[in-house]
Amino acid sequence: MTGDRVVPSPTGSAHRFRELTAVRDGDGYVIGSPRSPDYLAVPEIGGRVVEWLRAGHELNRCAELAAEMAGQPVDVAGFVAVLEDAGLLPDDNAAADPGEPAAVRGRRIGRLLFGTAGLVAQLALGSVAVVLLVFVPDLRPTFEDGFIVDAPLPAMLLLALIGTAAGLLHEVAHLLAAARFGVRSRISISRRLFVLVYQTDLTGLWSLPRRDRVVPIAAGMTSDAAILGLLLLVERCLMTNTHPALPIVRALILLKVTGLIFQIEIFMRTDVYALFALATRSRNLWATKGAVARALLRRATADDRRLLDASSSREVNWAKLYLLLYLPGVAWATWYLVAFGIPGLLRIADLSIGAITADGPLRIAGLSGAAALALCFVPLGWTMWGVGKNLLRTVLRVLRPS
């Protein structure tokens, strides 16, 4: 009994613990269940107790084994109560999950696309993409490929529509790769100002050993590279004639290249950032990086100091290395801005001003030109205002005496 609650004995109900996962993580374990999006980080003995419960041991027997391991009594009943409070355990008479058939189908598709054969095929197509982009300069995308038509507003809307579909494919790849390992995830739709964005919840990957998390995290990039390889092969075939589908293919190539460039920008929370955190075994890389940066500027808060004191020297060192990646990351992003972003904005401005001056600001062409200008430059001005404020704040922190 824990408090006023009686914890049911697992005798005859070992199925209650069957879905629990216990994955070693550093010196402890991460406990999870497909029934809950939450995970518990517990000491080693907690992970061992879960393993014993899954094996069908009774509660009293688990307490005996835990006491032998710890050298003192262990409140196993209280631990089970914690698992219940976290929503990790089903009721004894829990009904079957209605989403199970869809999960089985997703797992089959995930095994097909992200099993050994599927991954080899995707990596081969990605390699084809690299070879074609390196050795066939005419296939390399430019900012002009984003203009499927010459009218500025329709060009922006078409590119946004195609980009939304391409982004969804990226997230579906994450979902299917996770399903290959029996991990359920979901895609949510949000927005950043007027731009739709997709987000895939991959929290369930904590139920997998570390090496098995690599494929689901990298799945978006591998699928992007494979699709890019296919598109470049298609373009190679269409280059001999003026096929009407060629502008759409070129726009898709530009979007896929842009997406891969974005993922490489590790100074943001991209897929490459997630892989870096996984490879370095950093549980809290983003927050530790911020604490290290503020400590270097002598502006660390009490929370920052507590985090750094609780972090191992290995985690702090990786956070420092991650800070160093900001410089090449910003340089990479600046190159993309110069090569694609600014020329694209200037092209939109030229087309929009041309439409306004040619047809007048109150006619359909002129109004669409004005709308295109607003959709491009209002968000850009807002973003640059935020960047300027952050830069000024950082400079003041450096110059201000501690």
Q: Which of 50, 85, 120 is the last residue of a domain?
A: 85
The kind and range of the H/E element at 30 are strand 28-32
**Is the CB of residue 373 less than 8 Å from the CB of residue 349?**
yes
Torsion angle of the four alpha carbons 384, 337, 125, 131, in this order, in degrees rounded to the nearest 10: -160
- 153 with 198, same domain? yes
Q: pLDDT by residue (tens digit) across 74-127?
A: 899 999 988 888 888 876 555 555 556 667 788 899 999 999 999 999 999 999
231 domain residue, yes or no: yes
CA triplet 368, 373, 379: central angle to 5 degrees? 130
Residue 135 has pLDDT above 70, yes or no: yes
401 domain residue, yes or no: no
Three-state SS at 240:
coil
Q: Quick one: DSSP state of residue 37?
A: S
Q: Which of 84-93, 124-133, 215-224, 269-278 shows the lowest per-residue confidence on average (mean pLDDT)? A: 84-93
Alpha-carbon distance of 68 to 49, in angstroms, equals 12
4 domain residue, yes or no: no
- 64 with 190, same domain? no
Residue 217 has pLDDT above 90, yes or no: yes
- 27 with 154, same domain? no
49 domain residue, yes or no: yes
337 domain residue, yes or no: no
- 124 with 176, same domain? yes
User: Chain-centre distance of CA 116, in angstroms?
Assistant: 22
Alpha-carbon distance of 183 to 365, in angstroms, equals 50
Q: Which of 85, 106, 126 is the last residue of a domain?
A: 85
Give residue 9's pLDDT band: very low, low, confident or very high (50, 70, 90): very low
Percentage above 90 pLDDT, the chain: 28
- 193 with 217, same domain? yes
- 201 with 111, same domain? yes
**Is the CB of residue 134 less than 8 Å from the CB of residue 226?**
no
Instruction: Considering only CA atoms, give the Rg of the chain.
Output: 26
Q: pLDDT by residue (tens digit) across 233-256?
A: 999 887 766 677 888 999 999 999
Query: How many separate domains does the chain show?
Result: 2
Alpha-carbon distance of 223 to 213, in angstroms, equals 16
- 142 with 30, same domain? no
- 63 with 120, same domain? no
Two structure tokens written together for 213: 């998390």
Domain encompassing residue 73:
14-85
Q: Which of 41, 64, 85 is the last residue of a domain?
A: 85
- 40 with 176, same domain? no
- 153 with 244, same domain? yes
